[in-house]
Chains A and B, each alone.
Chain A
Amino acid sequence: MPTKRAAVADVHAPSVALPLQFILTGIAALLAASVWLVVRPIILAGYHYSPEVLAATHLFVLGWICSVIMGAMYQLVPVALETRLHSQRLARWHFALHVTGFIGMVVMFHREDMKQVGHFGSLVAIGVGLFVHNLARTLARIPRWNVVAAGIASSLCWLSLSILAGLYLAAAKCWSFSQFAPLAQLHAHAHLGGLGFFVMMIVSVSFKLVPMFTLGEVQSVRRAGWSLALLNAGLAGAFVTVLLSSPWKIIFALVVAAGLAFYGLEIISILRARKRSRLDWGVKYFLTALVLLAPVLVLGVVLAWPGLPANELTLQLETTYGFLALAGVVTFAILGMLYKVVPFLVWYASYSKAIGQSKIPALADLYSHPLQAAGYWLFLGGLLTASAASALGHDSCVRAGCVALLASFVVFAVNIGMVLSHLVRPRIEPLIAHSALQTNTRPLP
């Protein structure tokens, strides 16, 4: 007996152009940031509180990570939560504000003009306001509230707080009114964005995407819920204690660790119960990113330890911690998901109307699997080399690692270019023999 009927008329995803313009902007920013690191390895080999590091970090974080996550969210949230995007028009305004804002911020950070950083940051903030409003209105109409929706809502709250904290930081630099230590404010702002928006979003959507791509199911909704609750509680406490430079931050680092441990257990359970034994490269990229959460977590707990001496090594480890989290966990997870999302978007836009009527390529024919494998190993080699060299403050080895990372990103861009070529020139051929009815039907049990 059926249990529920679908209200399918109100379900659809936005046009392919909307997510793709965010994603392509993100890839351009990723390549630019990687070239910057190759040319100026001191960004990773030196201390992280400098105008150049802040400029490069915001190119990476706003230009690459935020652009891609926001573009993907406009596509995934309506589909994953079975509803309709509130407004594509608002999303297009968001794109214009976001691109203008982040490029201006990067330039002004580099020029050490904090007043203009605040102005361009305000454009980014208005864009984020439109993004959050758009997704909040979309979430408000979902038929069933679940752990994925709760996680996405949490990440949107943390994103908003992160942007407000960033504007506060810029204003405090201009008018010197803040009573908090500048470095503590910076670290608190970074954790709101990195852990609150990026990691929370990755955790939330993976409860939908990992089962979808491995043909499995969430094994324990309660465990998934606990992982989100602990992450939220840990981050709230970590934000306050980092801001106040309190020794109690270790407690909240451990709460975050507990949340991620619950998450890891749930992902392992999903993978053990999956129906698809072979994992493709996109899923391998994503799962490797999740494995990289472990060293980031260990570094985070070590750096939160009460009474940790502030020497050359521990200060460099702060840089390594941020690099491994953003370039390792978040970037690898995004690359993996883009290898799933972009081919599907392009395939659907180019070929869905011809299914059953013409000969069309399979989804996996849109990109090169050897290039995916090459990109994976270049990325891992580059990341580990650059991370170790960053901890040791070794310029040349940072450059060597970043060259490998850049090569990996170029390989990724080439592969995505191959996928996008199907949008420009679809490979549709006449159907020669048609025996679909005989080959694809199976009786329902």
Chain B
Amino acid sequence: MNEAIVNVDARGLEPPQPLVAILEVLSCLPEGSELHARTDRRPLHLFPLLEQRGFVGETEEQHDGSFVTTIRRA
């Protein structure tokens, strides 16, 4: 696994727990790292909060129906 990538698996959580899990990890994300968050659904409420914290995110749907959001500093 790439050391610059922090992974969060937030599948199986009811809203808003995926949001909490991702943002809590993001708050102590090491400089230069990027966060990969896997969720059951597209995390629509996450994006405005990322913007407020100086991050950008992009979501990709996976073949198994889950979503992986890649988050990095803007």
Contact = CB atoms under 8 A, between A and B. Distances in A.
Asked if A and B bind, the verdict is yes
Nearest to B60: A2
Given A3-B63, A212-B15, A443 B45 contact: no
B74 interface: no
Interface in B10-68: 12-16, 19-21, 23-29, 36, 38, 40-42, 44-45, 47-49, 52, 57-63, 65, 67-68
Interface in A1-18: 1-6, 8-9, 11-13
B16 A348 contact: yes
Contact of A353 (B8, B21, B52, B59): B52
Q: Range of interface residues on chain B?
A: 35 or more
Interface in A206-224: 212-213, 215, 217
B44 A11 contact: yes
Query: Which of under 10, 10 to 19, 20 to 34, or 35 or more describes the interface residues of A?
Result: 35 or more
A13 B60 CA distance: 20
B17 to A, nearest CB: 8
- What does DSSP make chain B's interface, helix, strand, loop or mixed? mixed
B36 A356 contact: no
Contact of B25 (A1, A217, A436): A436
A396 B7 CA distance: 63
Contacts of A2: 60-62, 68
Nearest to A436: B24
A440 B21 contact: yes
A442 B7 CA distance: 6
Contacts of A286: none
B15 to A, nearest CB: 7
A137 interface: no
A363 B16 CA distance: 8
Interface string A379-414: 000000000000000000000000000000000000
25 contacts: A1-B63, A5-B58, A5-B59, A6-B42, A6-B59, A6-B60, A8-B44, A8-B57, A9-B47, A12-B48, A212-B15, A215-B14, A275-B12, A355-B20, A355-B23, A355-B27, A356-B25, A356-B27, A363-B16, A436-B24, A436-B27, A441-B8, A442-B8, A444-B38, A444-B68
Shortest 3 CB-CB distances between A and B: which pairs?
A: A356-B27, A2-B60, A436-B24
Interface of B: 1, 6-9, 12-16, 19-21, 23-29, 36, 38, 40-42, 44-45, 47-49, 52, 57-63, 65, 67-68
Interface of A: 1-6, 8-9, 11-13, 79, 82, 212-213, 215, 217, 275-276, 344, 347-348, 352-353, 355-357, 363, 434, 436-437, 440-445
